[in-house]
Structure 1
Amino acid sequence: MTTPSWVADSLWWQVYPLGALGADTTGQDRGARHTLRDLAAWLDYAVELGTNGIALGPIFRSMTHGYDTTDYFTIDERLGTLSDFDALIEECHRRGLRVMLDGVFNHVGKEHPAFQEVLTQGSPASRCDWFDLTWPTGDQPGAVPAYRSFEGHDSLITLNHDEPAVRDLVVDVMCHWLDRGADAWRLDAAYAVPVGFWSLVLSRVRERHPDVYVMGEVLHGDYSEFVTSSGVDAVTQYELWKAIWSSVNDRNLFELDHALGRHNTLVESFLPWTFVGNHDVTRLATQLTQPEHLAHALVVLTTVGGTPAVYYGDEQAFEGLKEERFGGDDAIRPALPDRPEELAPDGWPVYRLHQELIALRRRHRWLTYATVEQLHLTNEQLVYRSAYDDNSLVVALSLADDEVTVPTPGGTRLLAGSADLAGAGEGASAHLQPHGWAIFGTN
């Protein structure tokens, strides 16, 4: 593993700036209602939550939602200027917050100058090889070629990753912003790009920035193989995300237990990026059929191995349904008020729960590398031991409508949650209230 040592203690607050700062994402209004500098009002809030990294969504000039980039070297005018970026970096680093940027390197927006040159100049365009194009017979300037697009979106033009100039571009972009103060990169749609491209690019980036952390978006497949072949430090753990909410909703904790077993194998080879919400999925508070089970999801997130991330607003139980339509992401990418004290009062208990569980993880730093051993399993109850070296915790979850008693072998004292612990050591058991949970120390 080449992951920088500082990542072992990292826990991220993920923010989608265009949404959080109230920008218009239709492409009609290019003015800045708020700038990146205004996110500084939320940095103490993130620190008090317990996070020490800010993972920013797209901030470069784009057509609409940020994932249709038109200039990798310019801050989107809807988010302000380069000086606003510099100010945010300074404020983050002053508080000990690392900064991650979102790099969309699988495709560009249709209005990117390189593609516009292709449309106006035809095949003689100097950057024609940046794209995988098929020209009509009798090609003339102004002819429109067929091109590869990202997942059928005609406005997202896939780059030709076999072209050396594209590799050079991505290396230059990544290093430019690392030079400017960024600490890490998220690679959007990393799964759609040949792993050999990432391997060549990242080896060059790390020659100049050996301490950079790189996380790739990968939905399915062999996560460990992708990490090994591509050279990224981590990928998104979507398998665990899905198992957490669906097993709770279905009251089928066998699904979660199976996912945790698979998660163990990942932790042994790299530190997965773990989450229960992000900018692409329905909010956890909306996804769960019973709001009292939100705590169970957070307990899993904070007691298993990996690098956890909290999506802005989830720590306040924001709701939002993702829909497959134009503007269907707006509900899950809402504007924040100007400052935290303007948040609605009913979300603060969930914030304090996040604080409690993140603080527990901070006190047990080894949880970053922990693997899980199942101790007790039914449809509605799961007890597991998280352990690394000589350290361990016992976690008990119940989805039942009634009080239950579950074995908690090794448990000696209550660290978080609510339960009556009977006995200690291998013969311990815990009495949980309906929909209860508890975390126990073992020494």
Structure 2
Amino acid sequence: MLLSGLFLLACQPKTSVIPEKETNEGKPVVYQVFTRLFGNTNTTNKPWGTIEENGVGKFADFTDRALDSIKAMGVTHIWYTGVPHHAVICDYTAYGIDNDDPDVVKGRAGSPYAVKDYYNVDPDLAIDPAKRMEEFEALIERTHRHGMKVIIDIVPNHVARNYHSISKPEGVADFGENDDTSVEYKRDNNFYYIPGEAFQVPVAGNGYKPLGGEENPLSDGKFEEYPAKWTGNGSRKAQPDINDWYETVKVNYGVRPDGTPDFDSLPAGYDTLSYQIHFNYWKDKDVPNSWIKFRDIALFWLDRGVDGFRYDMAEMVPVEFWSYMNSSIKMKNPDAFLLAEVYNPSLYRDYIRLGKMDYLYDKVELYDTLKHIMQGHGSTDHIAPIQDGLADIEHHMLHFLENHDEQRIASPEFAGSAEKGKPAMVVSTCISTSPTMLYFGQDVGEPAAGDAGFGSASRTTIFDYWGVLAHQRWMNGGAFDGGQSTPQEKELHQFYRTLLRFSSTSTALNGNYREIHSFNRENTPGYNDKVFSFVRWKDNDRVIIICNFSDSETYSFELKLDTRTIEDWHLVDGDCALTDVLTNDGEHRLNVTNNKAQINVVLKPLQSFIFQVD
């Protein structure tokens, strides 16, 4: 803050909060899109509907206009979910693809986490299934041309029960092709077996029938597999339960059935060493065959132009494998974006430091806490301790409020209103230096209310053909301009766009963090546990953030900065303008007097301010 003579000039509100020219100073923004659903304009939405009845999105639907609309939200990476060829109930035998059995497929379109062929892409996504890989490579090129990077899934813990690659490179053996099936376990087997027993389809419950009961030549309650394999979630029964991951089989990484490792361990101190040293450590080691197979799969996709991977259920695979896998990836592409699903906080640091993951989901701590608050049950007092506890790894904890596994904010089963996600999204996006992830349709308040067939409402289906109605209105027949959106959907989209563009360009959000919530709880009348506040700064870029999680109460108080922040920011007596990033208004003032700083704040229900100190 400048004194007297220069004060008026220095503290004039900025004309534009978000720079028009994109910079690399901000944080990554990941846009997760369920590829099969994104471009589908069909609104029939018949439960268990066929591809002809309900329609399906294609790679080609990610047009230049579509990619422009995604980029305009500050997106740096697109996670194209459901790209590898997975089991699907659609006849592609004309393309050399064998039909899948509904008894071991969830839904009609199939789970993207039951991969059938790691060396090709889902034929549903191509205009010409015979040229499906070429169409995906063209999408990679378009995405890169629009200044964004491409992430796809790798599912290391399990593969489809009927895995069979017809596209594998010459000399590559299928998973299980060379296994000794006479024993439960052998280090270089790709699967675990139940010798002497045949697989049996689970007994369905609650009236469930494959394909909703529709007749199908393969839907006979049988699936030939002898001997039976362990199921993806670890079930060792020849007939798994209907709630098990029965459509998949577990991959063997050299972990004996008693849980002991059958491979070398990383030496002490490797948690502080570079991926190059990890790579050199494994270079001459004899490792289990499944390690080699998945490494080669990852390198195959890097060669196609993919820029990174999201790893499904990574904690179910030993961390030593990740050291081997990720160091190999980084040697080929040091900038590869590696995101893992790990839900056990006690494992976070091992998977980051030993496993060389770039990012993990911050699900069970920040997301679950924010969800509880959004639902009207929790206290904002619980937020600051989470960030403090993760301070040493906060950069690696990716934040989100929706993804394909979680309920939609607007669904009645979650919050019942997309507006309730606004303060949580400001906190989630701005509280750390980690990336932020947005799920497609979240920005227009998609409630996921329909019954698609397999699964249940509140989560957008990942198993069936479907149209995502709020997203379709924004898509507007391919214009991607919100031409059919409601006023509320347009306003919500603008909120997300403004917030995420700010996060992708702000230097402050890549700098220091300090919560001022506790200080205000103790010293500010009217400030309560429905409000949360913190500051971010780097060099002269200084931001004050305050959010109201109440959907019914307006709060008025004098928000205070603590003494340390006043000192770190070198604030001196005076009165300086603040510009709110979310509205671009400059009506608020930061008053500093006698080493005290405060802002007169009136917070309406669900309102947030992101004040930049001018």
Partner Cα separation in structure 2 for residue 264 and residue 17 of structure 1: 34
Worse-superposed segment, 218-227 or 407-416 = 407-416
Q: 1:158 aligns with which of 226, 243, 250?
A: 250
In 2 relative to 1, CA 284–325 (structure 1 residues): closer, same or farther, beyond 3 Å? same
Contact 2:30/2:76, CA 8 A, preserved across alignment: yes
Q: 2:398 aligns with which of 250, 273, 291?
A: 273
The one-letter code sitting in structure 1 at the alignment partner of 2:486 is P
Deviation at 1:329, TM superposition (A): 6.8
In 2 relative to 1, CA 363–181 (structure 1 residues): closer, same or farther, beyond 3 Å? closer
Q: 2:82 aligns with which of 58, 72, 82?
A: 58
* Structure 2 counterparts to residues 144-183 of structure 1, below 5 A: 144-150=227-233, 152-162=244-254, 164-183=288-307
In 2 relative to 1, CA 69–423 (structure 1 residues): closer, same or farther, beyond 3 Å? closer
The one-letter code sitting in structure 2 at the alignment partner of 1:178 is L
Contact 2:26/2:506, CA 8 A, preserved across alignment: no
Partner Cα separation in structure 1 for residue 362 and residue 449 of structure 2: 21
Contact 1:69/1:109, CA 8 A, preserved across alignment: yes
> Are positions 1:427 and 2:597 aligned together?
yes
Deviation at 1:54, TM superposition (A): 0.7
Contact 1:406/1:429, CA 8 A, preserved across alignment: yes
Worse-superposed segment, 44-53 or 159-168 = 159-168
Contact 2:27/2:505, CA 8 A, preserved across alignment: no
Does the residue aligned with 2:537 lie in a helix, a strand or coil?
A: strand
* Structure 2 counterparts to residues 183-262 of structure 1, below 5 A: 183-222=307-346, 223-238=348-363, 239-249=365-375, 250=377, 252-262=379-389
Deviation at 1:116, TM superposition (A): 8.0
Contact 1:383/1:408, CA 8 A, preserved across alignment: no
Q: 2:485 aligns with which of 337, 341, 344?
A: 344
Q: Whose helix proportion is higher, 1 or 2?
A: 1
The one-letter code sitting in structure 1 at the alignment partner of 2:147 is G
Q: 1:135 aligns with which of 191, 195, 198?
A: 195
State the match for 1:358 in structure 2: 500
Q: 2:36 aligns with which of 18, 22, 27?
A: 18
The one-letter code sitting in structure 2 at the alignment partner of 1:438 is F
Does the residue aligned with 1:235 lie in a helix, a strand or coil?
A: strand
State the match for 1:77 in structure 2: 123
Worse-superposed segment, 303-312 or 198-207 = 198-207
Deviation at 1:21, TM superposition (A): 4.2
Deviation at 1:122, TM superposition (A): 4.9
Partner Cα separation in structure 2 for residue 423 and residue 182 of structure 1: 46
Please report the TM-score for the alignment, with normalisation by the length of structure 2: 0.64
Partner Cα separation in structure 2 for residue 281 and residue 13 of structure 1: 15
Deviation at 1:393, TM superposition (A): 1.4
Contact 1:35/1:84, CA 8 A, preserved across alignment: no
Partner Cα separation in structure 2 for residue 168 and residue 27 of structure 1: 39
Partner Cα separation in structure 2 for residue 107 and residue 30 of structure 1: 30
Partner Cα separation in structure 1 for residue 315 and residue 250 of structure 2: 13
The one-letter code sitting in structure 1 at the alignment partner of 2:247 is S
Worse-superposed segment, 108-117 or 161-170 = 108-117
Contact 2:323/2:354, CA 8 A, preserved across alignment: yes
Deviation at 1:93, TM superposition (A): 0.8
State the match for 1:301 in structure 2: 428
Q: 1:381 aligns with which of 517, 531, 534?
A: 531
Please report the TM-score for the alignment, with normalisation by the length of structure 1: 0.86
State the match for 2:611 in structure 1: 440
State the match for 2:62 in structure 1: 39
Does the residue aligned with 2:374 lie in a helix, a strand or coil?
A: helix
User: Which of the two has higher C-alpha Rg?
Assistant: 2
Partner Cα separation in structure 1 for residue 554 and residue 430 of structure 2: 25
Does the residue aligned with 1:245 lie in a helix, a strand or coil?
A: helix
Partner Cα separation in structure 1 for residue 444 and residue 409 of structure 2: 11
Partner Cα separation in structure 2 for residue 143 and residue 86 of structure 1: 37
Worse-superposed segment, 402-411 or 63-72 = 402-411
Does the residue aligned with 1:105 lie in a helix, a strand or coil?
A: coil
Q: Whose strand proportion is higher, 1 or 2?
A: 1
Deviation at 1:366, TM superposition (A): 3.9
Does the residue aligned with 2:189 lie in a helix, a strand or coil?
A: helix
In 2 relative to 1, CA 177–299 (structure 1 residues): closer, same or farther, beyond 3 Å? same
In 2 relative to 1, CA 134–242 (structure 1 residues): closer, same or farther, beyond 3 Å? same
Contact 2:405/2:459, CA 8 A, preserved across alignment: no
Q: 2:438 aligns with which of 298, 310, 332?
A: 310
Q: Can you give the 5+ residue segments of structure 2 that lack an aligned partner in the other structure?
A: 1-23, 88-109, 127-131, 165-173, 199-223, 235-243, 255-286, 522-527, 567-575
Once the two structures are superposed, residues 60-92 of structure 1 have per-residue CA deviations (whole angstroms, 9 ceiling, x without a partner) of 111112110010011111111012101111111
Once the two structures are superposed, residues 201-247 of structure 1 have per-residue CA deviations (whole angstroms, 9 ceiling, x without a partner) of 11222222222121111123232232112111111111211222212
Deviation at 1:385, TM superposition (A): 1.4
Identity of aligned residues (%): 19
Does the residue aligned with 1:66 lie in a helix, a strand or coil?
A: coil
Once the two structures are superposed, residues 110-137 of structure 1 have per-residue CA deviations (whole angstroms, 9 ceiling, x without a partner) of 0103578699x9549x998100223128
State the match for 2:556 in structure 1: 404
State the match for 1:107 in structure 2: 158
In 2 relative to 1, CA 88–312 (structure 1 residues): closer, same or farther, beyond 3 Å? same
The one-letter code sitting in structure 2 at the alignment partner of 1:20 is F
Contact 1:17/1:59, CA 8 A, preserved across alignment: yes
Does the residue aligned with 1:84 lie in a helix, a strand or coil?
A: helix
